[in-house]
Amino acid sequence: MKDKAALAPFRFHSHGLRFALMLLLTAWSLGARASVPDFDALDELLLQNVRNGFVDYDGFAADSRFPQLVQQFGAATPMVLDAADGGLSFYVNAYNVLAIQGILSGSSPDSWWGRRKFFRGRKFELLGESITLEALEHDRVAAFGDPRIHFALVCASLSCPRLSSRVYRAELINVQLHDAARRFINDPSRNRFDVERRIAFVSMIFDWYAADFAKAGGSVQRYIARFVDDAEVQEALRADEFELRYEDYDWNLNGQFGNTPR
């Protein structure tokens, strides 16, 4: 009996320690889950407020889930980047969400000074740090070395790629980026190919990021050829037969406020 009595405090201490450990693990688990943005909610918001790439900014502004998502991206922990392709999908979604937030906050890239503030001056919270859209694109997203990101990052302007109405997912990111590249390159409002004159009227994106495309494809034209639907155009691009002419970039808003284009 004395031995059992002597062991009783130890048994109590052991049970208490295990209980405390369970509480700690539960709190850690809840904290880990809370640190991950709700991509399902973002998917629903995109489906509701994006039509053919055009954005209903009033819709985002009126939905309480959107500021919650902005906060979730800000509070997310780096653990969300660990899964295969999790970092790339996280950063692409973050860029597009924060660009929308920039518009809702009153910023706009529709003028030279506006672009400077929108991309370089305005800071957003991401992963517990302050970051600009320019730094997010060049230091985080571009670090993955995939030029297809340039067809998925949407800077809230008409000449930007059309915003996807679906969230980017880690398990689908490769297919989604391929589809984004095909949509952008085969969109005649962004790129046109005059086969007879061998002149390609293409987006300024192919000028700004020419080094990325040339590194991945051997040349800008050969990179474009990977995604072009027209077989004749594709063959000429592969042979670098086109003269590239870059279209003026339209920085007007890619959506509406109050049903009035801005």
Mean pLDDT (the chain) is 88
Instruction: Confirm if 207 and 246 have CB atoms less than 8 A apart.
Output: yes
pLDDT above 90: residue 158: yes
> Which residue, among 25, 150, 131, has the nearest Cα to 92 in the 3D structure?
150
Q: How far apart are CA 182 and CA 195, in angstroms?
A: 19
Give the CA distances from residue 230 to residues 149, 194, 235, in Å, rounded to whole numbers and listed in that order. 23, 12, 9
- pLDDT tens digits along 233-243: 999 999 999 99
The model carries a pTM of 0.85
User: Which pLDDT score is estimated for 35?
Assistant: 76
pLDDT of residue 3: 46
Query: Domain map of the chain by residue range?
Result: 1-34, 35-187, 191-246
Please give the Cα distance from 40 to 38 (Å, whole number). Answer: 5
> Tens digit of pLDDT for each residue in 64-106?
999 999 999 999 988 778 665 689 999 999 999 999 999 999 9
pLDDT at 143 over 70: yes
217 pLDDT exceeds 70?
A: yes
